Amino acid sequence: ICVFLIVSVTTNKQHENINRLTTERSHLVQQQKQMENQMADLKRFKKFVLQHKNFPVLEFCPEHMKPQCFECRIGWLSFKTYCYLLYGGQELKSWDEGRQYCRENGGDLVVIDNLEEQEFITLYANLSLLTPANFWIGLHHTPKGWFWVDGRRNTFDFWIKGIPHTSGAALHIAQTKFTENWKAEGKAVKNRFFCEHPIINFP
């Protein structure tokens, strides 16, 4: 009986140790994932900051909000996981000039990922009441077809019917149906444009 009790107690202690170690391991795995996520956020933040010649701290973190910051800078509009700018400056720009402007501000010309985003930028453009109401987006023609600035081939058909689209880049035409408001135009033509970049999670 004594031997049985000793074995039973030892077995129980082993089970307790195993359970404790399993719990500790689970906590360590969670901590490691949190650290990996934090490191990924820091890397994204560093990459975003380095895209600017001069990072606009006060546009993200106004004096009255410190130490809190906006996920999108002043003048940009957030939707889902991105920040958007509809360029309203007096000086219109070619497709390449517009793209350069977006890149200097940490983003690129907008890439349409789905119908919901297409509907959003259409509403954004319509509410802006800017003139001219034609906006470059990040879609351009290459020898292999229409591609977005992130390298993906275009799979959407939001072109205005009856207008050829075989060269140049895509203009988003405001005050038209959101399912039919793209028009091909020569890249050198001056227009307004849409920029976007992922929302910023400040460390």
| pLDDT tens, residue by residue, 82-122 | 999 999 999 999 999 999 999 999 999 999 999 999 999 99
| Domain ranges, residue 120 | 67-198
Check: CB of residue 83 under 8 Å from CB of residue 72: yes
At residue 15, the 3 state secondary structure works out as helix
Of 22 and 162, more confident = 162
Same domain, residue pair 178 and 78? yes
Q: From CA 65, how far away is CA 73, in angstroms rounded?
A: 13
CA 56, distance to chain mean position in Å, is 18
What backbone torsions phi and psi does residue 25 show, to the nearest 5 degrees? -65, -40
Residue 24 has pLDDT above 80, yes or no: no
Structure-token pair, residue 100: 């350069």
Write the CATH number for 102: 3.10.100.10
CA distances from 199 to 75, 90, 101, 170 (A): 13, 26, 18, 24
| pLDDT tens, residue by residue, 29-87 | 777 777 676 666 556 655 665 566 666 666 777 877 777 787 889 899 999 999 999 99
CA distances from 122 to 28, 116, 137, 177, 182 (A): 47, 10, 12, 8, 10
Q: Which residue, among 122, 137, 146, has the nearest Cα to 196 in the 3D structure?
A: 137
Same domain, residue pair 93 and 47? no
Say how many domains are in the chain. Answer: 2
Residue 191 gets which letter from DSSP? B
Q: From CA 158, how far away is CA 116, in angstroms rounded?
A: 13
C-alpha dihedral (63, 67, 71, 72), degrees to nearest 10 = 10
pLDDT of residue 103: 94
Same domain, residue pair 102 and 127? yes
Note whether residue 181 is domain-resident: yes
10 Å Cβ neighbour count for 119?
A: 13
Model's pTM, two decimal places?
Answer: 0.75
Note whether residue 58 is domain-resident: no
Note whether residue 56 is domain-resident: no
Average pLDDT taken over every residue of the chain: 85
